[in-house]
Amino acid sequence: MDEENSDSISQDLDNDSKMVLVGSGVRIEGRIDGAESTDVSGSLSGTLKSSRISINSSGSFNGDMNGQDVVISGNVEGEITSEDTIIVNQ
Protein backbone atom coordinates (compact mmCIF):
# COMPACT_ATOMS: atom_id res chain seq x y z
CA MET A 1 0.00 0.00 0.00
CA ASP A 2 1.41 3.40 -0.89
CA GLU A 3 1.72 6.27 1.61
CA GLU A 4 -1.21 8.23 0.17
CA ASN A 5 -3.64 5.31 0.68
CA SER A 6 -2.26 4.64 4.14
CA ASP A 7 -2.93 8.26 5.22
CA SER A 8 -6.47 8.04 3.85
CA ILE A 9 -7.20 4.88 5.86
CA SER A 10 -5.86 6.44 9.07
CA GLN A 11 -8.10 9.46 8.60
CA ASP A 12 -11.14 7.23 8.02
CA LEU A 13 -10.51 5.45 11.35
CA ASP A 14 -10.55 8.63 13.46
CA ASN A 15 -13.50 8.61 15.88
CA ASP A 16 -13.69 12.17 17.19
CA SER A 17 -17.37 11.70 17.99
CA LYS A 18 -16.44 9.13 20.69
CA MET A 19 -19.36 6.95 19.65
CA VAL A 20 -19.33 3.15 19.91
CA LEU A 21 -21.79 1.04 17.94
CA VAL A 22 -22.03 -2.73 18.40
CA GLY A 23 -24.22 -3.91 15.55
CA SER A 24 -26.62 -6.83 15.52
CA GLY A 25 -24.73 -10.11 15.18
CA VAL A 26 -21.45 -8.57 16.41
CA ARG A 27 -19.85 -9.98 19.57
CA ILE A 28 -17.23 -8.02 21.55
CA GLU A 29 -15.36 -8.95 24.74
CA GLY A 30 -13.22 -6.38 26.55
CA ARG A 31 -13.27 -2.88 27.96
CA ILE A 32 -14.76 0.33 26.60
CA ASP A 33 -13.80 3.49 28.47
CA GLY A 34 -14.37 7.18 27.71
CA ALA A 35 -17.07 6.94 25.04
CA GLU A 36 -19.69 9.68 24.82
CA SER A 37 -22.34 7.33 23.46
CA THR A 38 -22.49 3.52 23.28
CA ASP A 39 -25.25 1.73 21.37
CA VAL A 40 -25.41 -2.07 21.67
CA SER A 41 -27.55 -4.19 19.33
CA GLY A 42 -25.15 -7.15 19.39
CA SER A 43 -23.34 -8.77 22.32
CA LEU A 44 -20.89 -7.00 24.64
CA SER A 45 -19.11 -8.64 27.59
CA GLY A 46 -16.73 -6.83 29.92
CA THR A 47 -16.49 -3.34 31.38
CA LEU A 48 -18.30 -0.37 29.87
CA LYS A 49 -17.88 3.30 30.85
CA SER A 50 -19.76 5.74 28.63
CA SER A 51 -21.79 8.92 29.14
CA ARG A 52 -24.86 7.55 27.34
CA ILE A 53 -25.50 3.81 27.12
CA SER A 54 -28.27 2.11 25.17
CA ILE A 55 -28.74 -1.67 25.19
CA ASN A 56 -31.28 -2.21 22.42
CA SER A 57 -33.92 -4.98 22.36
CA SER A 58 -31.67 -7.24 20.25
CA GLY A 59 -28.61 -6.40 22.37
CA SER A 60 -27.06 -8.12 25.37
CA PHE A 61 -24.49 -7.03 27.93
CA ASN A 62 -22.65 -9.05 30.57
CA GLY A 63 -20.35 -7.26 33.01
CA ASP A 64 -20.09 -3.91 34.79
CA MET A 65 -21.45 -0.75 33.20
CA ASN A 66 -21.17 2.84 34.35
CA GLY A 67 -22.88 5.71 32.56
CA GLN A 68 -24.57 9.01 33.05
CA ASP A 69 -27.79 8.02 31.24
CA VAL A 70 -28.55 4.31 30.73
CA VAL A 71 -31.44 2.87 28.70
CA ILE A 72 -31.95 -0.89 28.72
CA SER A 73 -34.29 -2.68 26.33
CA GLY A 74 -32.26 -5.89 25.91
CA ASN A 75 -30.66 -8.49 28.17
CA VAL A 76 -28.24 -7.29 30.88
CA GLU A 77 -26.38 -9.32 33.50
CA GLY A 78 -24.06 -7.57 35.92
CA GLU A 79 -23.74 -4.33 37.86
CA ILE A 80 -25.21 -1.09 36.51
CA THR A 81 -24.15 2.29 37.89
CA SER A 82 -25.64 5.57 36.66
CA GLU A 83 -24.91 9.17 37.62
CA ASP A 84 -28.35 10.38 36.41
CA THR A 85 -30.95 7.98 34.99
CA ILE A 86 -31.55 4.30 34.38
CA ILE A 87 -34.54 3.41 32.20
CA VAL A 88 -35.54 -0.23 31.82
CA ASN A 89 -37.98 -0.99 29.01
CA GLN A 90 -39.90 -4.23 28.86
Complete edge-to-edge strand list for the sheet that includes strand 43-55? 19-22, 27-40, 43-55, 60-72, 75-88
Q: What is the DSSP letter of 66?
A: E
Percentage of residues in the chain having pLDDT higher than 90: 79
pTM comes to: 0.80
Say whether pLDDT at 9 is over 50: no
Could you give the CA distance from residue 19 to residue 34 in angstroms, rounded to a whole number?
9
Furthest C-alpha separation in the chain: 51
Could you give the CA distance from residue 55 to residue 30 in angstroms, rounded to a whole number?
16
Could you give the CA distance from residue 53 to residue 59 in angstroms, rounded to a whole number?
12
| Amino acid at residue number 40 | V
Say whether pLDDT at 24 is over 90: yes
Say whether pLDDT at 2 is over 70: no
Overall average pLDDT of the 52-66 stretch? 98
Say whether pLDDT at 23 is over 50: yes
